[in-house]
């Protein structure tokens, strides 16, 4: 195997890895936007967040992931989207779940 073939294989692996990660970010962003839009607005007020902002941020992350998967020059967009989606799923969504679980009236 010539050195050029090795570099071509590594380059293709890197490209497809970025495409898969970008599509994962797009899927998580779209699902985050859907879950944020179906959540009660008062749950966001309790945790000092704004519902509209998180819907737009998650939807923007989904669009950024799709653009990054389609256009090879915009590979950094999925990283930005991953940060937004990560903050939503690791900080905002668990806080909302805690608020909604406590609001169900269990004692």
pTM of the model: 0.86
pLDDT in tens, 66-95: 999 998 788 889 999 999 999 999 999 999
Q: Mean pLDDT throughout 95-99?
A: 93
Mean pLDDT of 45-69: 96
The pLDDT of residue 4 is 76
Model pLDDT, residue 41: 93
Q: Residue 31: which residues within 8 A CB-CB, separation 6 or more?
A: none
Boundaries of every domain in the chain: 29-99
Instruction: Report whether pLDDT(107) > 90.
Output: no
CA distance linking residue 39 with residue 81, whole number of Å: 21
């Amino acid at each position: 195997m010539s050195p050029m073939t090795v570099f071509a294989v590594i380059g293709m692996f890197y490209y497809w890895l970025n495409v898969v990660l970008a599509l994962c970010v797009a899927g998580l962003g779209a699902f985050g936007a859907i879950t944020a839009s179906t959540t009660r607005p008062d749950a966001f007020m309790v945790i000092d967040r704004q519902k509209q902002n998180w819907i737009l941020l998650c939807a923007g992350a989904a669009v950024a992931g799709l653009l990054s998967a389609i256009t090879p020059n915009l590979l950094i967009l999925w990283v930005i989207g991953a940060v937004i989606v990560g903050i939503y799923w690791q900080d905002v969504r668990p806080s909302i779940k805690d608020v909604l679980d406590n609001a169900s009236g269990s004692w």
